[in-house]
Chains A and B, each alone.
Chain A
Amino acid sequence: MTWIELSLKEWQRRPLRTGVTTAGVAIAIAALFSLLAFQRGYRDGVRNELDRLGAHVLVAPKGCPYDAASMALHGASWPCYLKQTYLDEVRAVRGVATAAPVFMAAVDDADGTQAVYVGVETNILALKRGWRIEGNFPGRDGDLLAGAEAARRNGWQVGSTVRLPGLREQTGRVTGILAATRGADDAFIYLRLADAQRRFNHPGELTHILVRLADPNDLDNAVAQLRGCDAGLAMNVVPLAHVFHTIQSLVNSTRLLLGCIALVALLVAGTGVSNTILMAVAERRRDIGVMRAIGASRRDIFRLIWLETVQVCVTGAVLGVAAASLASHAVETWVRSRLPFAPTDALIHWEWWIVAASLACAVILGSVAGFLPAWHAASVSPTTAIRTGGRT
């Protein structure tokens, strides 16, 4: 019988108690794993989303730039507007390769779903290089380009004339359908800029301008020029790289706080494990005494109990990681409903190193927690233990 097999015996002797202890470790490790995976997923999600926007700078009306970035990414009705005349000034700035004007509005359809209309000009295609369009880009007023998801939900085909959701009595002709981008673009309905302004009664107004620079390394200079132009006092120039850094640093700063509390959960799980093994040692004093009497050294006993602890923790960790990956969908939905700036990508994004880190945590936890009971067991004196029948 090997040491490992011997350490697994406890499962047979006290299945309920060992099971409960393992469950405790599993819960703590599952929390740790979800946290790590979430940190990772959130950062990647935000970055992908900003990349998909295709712009380096967002020009938005006055107000919180993070709100503006979030609205531009996810689609919403904007509280304030920019004058279309600012567009010429933006285009005049040196270093600006493309300045794409956008008018965005969100309306609720009769069945409660939200339809997001986006008015754009053809130069948006210079930003959205990943777009694959079946059919044509809208060429005339009344034409529309539907995102993959929007087309699927409404059952639209290229060439059909359709009723526009959320806009009473208005129709349009679908000239193109966008291949799935896996971003928010999929749910948008693109119109010609002037057409969108007319339908929503905001002629000559924009919600934001997406700016792509000729050289992304020239960002600071271009931003300074944009802020300095005449219209610069009436609009907010938001470099998207800064938005990413701010969000990332916010997430990073909560990391330590969350880490501390995850540590508390692990600490509590550790005392639980320590305690259970201690009880097991107390119950098995006589066995341990006999083992010592027939030749096991103190080291052997220490190693046996220590292995038992690590084994409980590792089993718990494996279960915890498995449970966390199974429950990741539910956790994601719950977290998403509480986050102010949630990207559309998967938030819980695990990688092998996270699994490895969780398991390593469990091994460390088991090693530390196992120390006290193992030391206790190793100091059992064989003669007393056998004489008293294991009672203390």
Chain B
Amino acid sequence: MSILRLAFQNLVHRPLRNILTVIGLAVAIAVLVCLSAFGHGYQRALGAELDRMGLQMMLVPLGCPYDAAARVLKGRPLENSLPESALEAARRDPAVAIAAPLLMVALPRPDAGRADMWVGLDETALALKPWWRVSAGEKWFSNDDSVILGCDAAEIELRSPGELFFSPETGRKFRVAGVLERSGTSDDSLFFVPLRTAQQMFNQSNRLTAIAIRLRDPALLHEASVRLQRIPGAQVVTLTEMMGTFLNLVGMVRTLLFSIALVAITVSVLGVFNTLLTAVVERTNELAVMRAIGASRWQIVGLITTEALLLTGAGGIAGVLLALAAGHGIENLVKSFVPLAPDGTMMSPTAPILFQSVLAGVVVGVLAGLYPAWRAGRLQPAEALKAE
């Protein structure tokens, strides 16, 4: 009978105890996997999202610029607004290729129990959103009273291109020009109208929520931001700065979380230690007989270490499976806390992360098995059998 098989049978012999140990370890490993995968995925998704936008900076109203930029990117309303004079000033700047104004207003719909987000755009927006695809209808507004709906918005309002659409709160009638293809971003739930229309609808004439800016050459970023910062009533956020700030914030939270995950792993390793120690003490007689009929010290040490490996290996694999199964739920929980949660998935459990987590579990498990294995190897067969 091989050592591996013997070790396996020894574990199966005490199912309840070993299953509890495996559960403890699995939960701890699952937390570790989720945290590693999350941090990695967040950075990647955030980078990809900012890249896809093709803009280098934004002009936002006074107030916390990061908060403002994050709100605009995620389609949430802002408390402050910019004067429209800032747009002309930005367009006059030599380094600016495109300056796209944006007015974003939340329209509360108390009877429907939600708030609709209306966004006013002008033609420059098309240049900044090359990935905009309409699933039906026109790609741009035909007149001042036309609206383009995000796909979720179209579903809720039950409208398709060409149909009339009445907004009771503002008392305006629109014709649906087009419906956007599902993009998985916040665009899906928005109502797009021409900028002038939005300004009239919400009594915000000459006000803007933000101005998205693409430069002629990204290398001009620094000098352009110094010049644009002087525009009255506006401040500049460069997206790289913004990403750095958010990564810092998320990094801080992650360090805190990691330290607690470490606590969970330490506690579960103490459990492994206890289980193995008990297994050795209980089987003193059996191990002594094995020694008496010719097993060497090292074979006994090997047997207990193999048990430790099997136990922690099972824990690690169960933990990874648990993380994969629960990952989606955890992602939703985490998404509600981070300031600029990118659309799409943030959990990206790559093979190295999974492998490292299982390995970490096994390594600490083997360390926990050292003392029980040493104690088993030290057993004197004659004395142990006599005591029995």
Which positions in A face B, CB cutoff 8 Å?
14, 16-17, 20-21, 23-24, 27-28, 31, 35, 62-66, 80, 227, 233-237, 253-254, 256-258, 260-262, 264-265, 267-269, 271-272, 274-276, 278-279, 282-283, 335, 338-340
Chain B residues lying within 8 Å of A265, measured Cβ to Cβ, are 260, 263-264, 267
Chain B residues lying within 8 Å of A253, measured Cβ to Cβ, are 336-337
Q: Cβ of B253 and Cβ of A268 under 8 Å apart?
A: no
Check B333 for interface membership: any CB of A closer than 8 A: yes
Q: Say whether, besides A254-B253, A258-B257, A16 and B264 are in contact (CB < 8 Å).
A: no
Which single member of A24, A236, A254 contacts B271 (CB below 8 Å)?
A24
- Most interface-central of B17, B28, B264, B337 (chain A CB within 10 A): B264
Check B64 for interface membership: any CB of A closer than 8 A: yes
For residue A369, give the distance in angstroms from its CB to the closest CB of chain B. 10
Q: Cβ of B24 and Cβ of A268 under 8 Å apart?
A: yes
Chain A residues lying within 8 Å of B83, measured Cβ to Cβ, are 233
Q: Cβ of B235 and Cβ of A62 under 8 Å apart?
A: yes
Tell me the nearest residue of chain A to B261, going by C-beta: A261
Check B21 for interface membership: any CB of A closer than 8 A: yes
CA distance A16 to B66 in the complex (A): 54
Check B77 for interface membership: any CB of A closer than 8 A: no
Tell me the nearest residue of chain A to B275, going by C-beta: A275
Check B20 for interface membership: any CB of A closer than 8 A: yes
Check B16 for interface membership: any CB of A closer than 8 A: yes
CA distance A135 to B23 in the complex (A): 68
CA distance A148 to B281 in the complex (A): 63
Tell me the nearest residue of chain A to B21, going by C-beta: A275
Which single member of A17, A65, A233 contacts B277 (CB below 8 Å)?
A17
Chain A residues lying within 8 Å of B21, measured Cβ to Cβ, are 271, 275
Q: Say whether, besides A258-B256, A261-B260, A268-B27, A24 and B337 are in contact (CB < 8 Å).
A: no
What are 11 pairs between A and B in contact, CB < 8 Å?
A: A20-B270, A24-B270, A65-B64, A235-B62, A256-B337, A264-B260, A275-B24, A275-B271, A275-B274, A279-B275, A340-B248
Which single member of B62, B252, B267, B334 contacts A269 (CB below 8 Å)?
B267
Tell me the nearest residue of chain A to B277, going by C-beta: A17
Which single member of B24, B62, B252, B260 contacts A62 (CB below 8 Å)?
B62
Chain A residues lying within 8 Å of B252, measured Cβ to Cβ, are 338-340
Q: Cβ of A20 and Cβ of B274 under 8 Å apart?
A: yes
Check B233 for interface membership: any CB of A closer than 8 A: yes
Q: Say whether, besides A17-B274, A257-B257, A65 and B31 are in contact (CB < 8 Å).
A: no
Q: Cβ of A264 and Cβ of B27 under 8 Å apart?
A: yes
Q: Cβ of B65 and Cβ of A63 under 8 Å apart?
A: yes
For residue A279, give the distance in angstroms from its CB to the closest CB of chain B. 5
Q: Say whether, besides A233-B232, A233-B233, A264-B264, A23 and B65 are in contact (CB < 8 Å).
A: no
Q: Cβ of A16 and Cβ of B275 under 8 Å apart?
A: no
Q: Cβ of B24 and Cβ of A271 under 8 Å apart?
A: yes
Chain B residues lying within 8 Å of A264, measured Cβ to Cβ, are 27-28, 31, 260-261, 264
Check B282 for interface membership: any CB of A closer than 8 A: yes
Chain B residues lying within 8 Å of A276, measured Cβ to Cβ, are 271, 274, 278
Check B204 for interface membership: any CB of A closer than 8 A: no
CA distance A360 to B267 in the complex (A): 20
Other than the known A28-B267, A236-B62, A271-B21, what 15 A-B pairs have Cβ atoms closer than 8 Å?
A: A17-B277, A27-B266, A27-B267, A62-B229, A62-B235, A64-B66, A80-B229, A257-B253, A260-B333, A261-B257, A264-B27, A271-B24, A275-B20, A279-B17, A338-B256
For residue A252, give the distance in angstroms from its CB to the closest CB of chain B. 10
B228-256, CB < 8 A from A: 229, 232-233, 235, 248-249, 252-253, 255-256
For residue A347, give the distance in angstroms from its CB to the closest CB of chain B. 12
Check B348 for interface membership: any CB of A closer than 8 A: no
Check B268 for interface membership: any CB of A closer than 8 A: yes
CA distance A254 to B336 in the complex (A): 10
Check B63 for interface membership: any CB of A closer than 8 A: yes
Chain A residues lying within 8 Å of B256, measured Cβ to Cβ, are 254, 258, 335, 338
Tell me the nearest residue of chain A to B268, going by C-beta: A268
Tell me the nearest residue of chain A to B279, going by C-beta: A279
CA distance A35 to B259 in the complex (A): 11
Tell me the nearest residue of chain B to A21, going by C-beta: B274
For residue A315, give the distance in angstroms from its CB to the closest CB of chain B. 15
Tell me the nearest residue of chain A to B232, going by C-beta: A233
Check B273 for interface membership: any CB of A closer than 8 A: yes
CA distance A62 to B60 in the complex (A): 11
Q: Cβ of A234 and Cβ of B260 under 8 Å apart?
A: no
CA distance A301 to B94 in the complex (A): 85
For residue B263, give the distance in angstroms from its CB to the closest CB of chain A. 4
Tell me the nearest residue of chain B to A235, going by C-beta: B62
Chain B residues lying within 8 Å of A335, measured Cβ to Cβ, are 256
CA distance A14 to B277 in the complex (A): 11
Q: Cβ of A278 and Cβ of B20 under 8 Å apart?
A: yes
Tell me the nearest residue of chain B to A255, going by C-beta: B337
Q: Say whether, besides A257-B337, A264-B27, A65 and B63 are in contact (CB < 8 Å).
A: yes
B69-105, CB < 8 A from A: 83
For residue A262, give the distance in angstroms from its CB to the closest CB of chain B. 6
CA distance A24 to B25 in the complex (A): 13
Q: Cβ of A268 and Cβ of B264 under 8 Å apart?
A: yes
Which single member of B229, B261, B270, B333 contacts A272 (CB below 8 Å)?
B270
CA distance A268 to B30 in the complex (A): 12
Q: Cβ of A64 and Cβ of B24 under 8 Å apart?
A: no
CA distance A266 to B142 in the complex (A): 61
Which single member of B65, B233, B277 contacts A64 (CB below 8 Å)?
B65
Q: Cβ of B264 and Cβ of A261 under 8 Å apart?
A: yes
Q: Say whether, besides A63-B235, A274-B20, A279-B17, A20 and B273 are in contact (CB < 8 Å).
A: yes
CA distance A276 to B370 in the complex (A): 19
Q: Say whether, besides A268-B264, A275-B20, A227 and B31 are in contact (CB < 8 Å).
A: no
